[in-house]
Amino acid sequence: MINPQASTRKKVNVRRMTIISLLSAISIMLSMIPLGYIQIGPLAITTMCIPVMIGGIIEGPMVGMVVGLIFGLTSMFRGMAGMAGVTGFVFINPLVSVLPRIFIGLVSYYSFKLSMKIIKNTYVSGLIAGGMASITNTVGVLGMIYVLYAAEYAKALGQSAGTAKALLMGIATTNGIAEALGGALVVSAVVVVLKKSKI
């Protein structure tokens, strides 16, 4: 006799693996085209957070964290391959390139869940979750750069070591705001569609 619980669990696991594979494939594809990392001089605005956020919100923190790991590994590869500009050396360190990206999926899931409890609106909760997860990426990456490479990072951009803090704050407010707004709008729209279709 087939155990219904075991059958349901198997279906959930297959579905989860399928979504991880799909979102990971999208992340890898984005990393290979200019849309994934929009390079503006030495800086890059990334859309790579979006699959991570969607995975976290739709399928839970574990899926989001796995897709975030893929994002982080592509970022590390870009640093190693010299594709990330003059400051790319910082992304060779997984504490900069990988660790903050794993937390994107975690933050997107819990901020969406909490927002839904309070607001009970999928679109607004998606906006909040997308914004919070994007800020997590910005603060995590730039924070680790400041802690580990502040002086070297500033020098790579032709600035003195003493300007590192102001330099990173400037990047956080320009790149960070653009990424947070873009990510929030796209993620909220996608989440509304996916939640309605109950994929």
Per-residue pLDDT tens listing for the chain (199 residues): 445 555 556 666 787 888 888 888 888 888 888 777 776 655 667 888 999 999 999 999 999 999 999 999 999 999 999 888 888 999 999 999 999 999 999 999 999 999 999 999 999 999 999 999 999 999 999 999 999 999 999 998 888 888 888 988 988 888 888 888 888 999 999 998 887 775 5
What is the reported pLDDT for 19? 85
Our separate counts of H helices and E strands in the chain read 7, 2
Residue 69: its pLDDT value, please? 95
176 CB-contact burial (10 Å; exposed 0-12 / middle 13-18 / buried 19+): buried
Question: Whole-structure pTM over 0.75, yes or no?
Answer: yes
Residue 155 pLDDT: 92
Distance CA 136, CA 23 (A): 19
Length of the chain equals: 199
Residue-level pLDDT at 173: 86
Q: Calculate Rg over the CA atoms of the chain.
A: 18
Determine contact, residues 82/126, Cβ cutoff 8 Å.
no
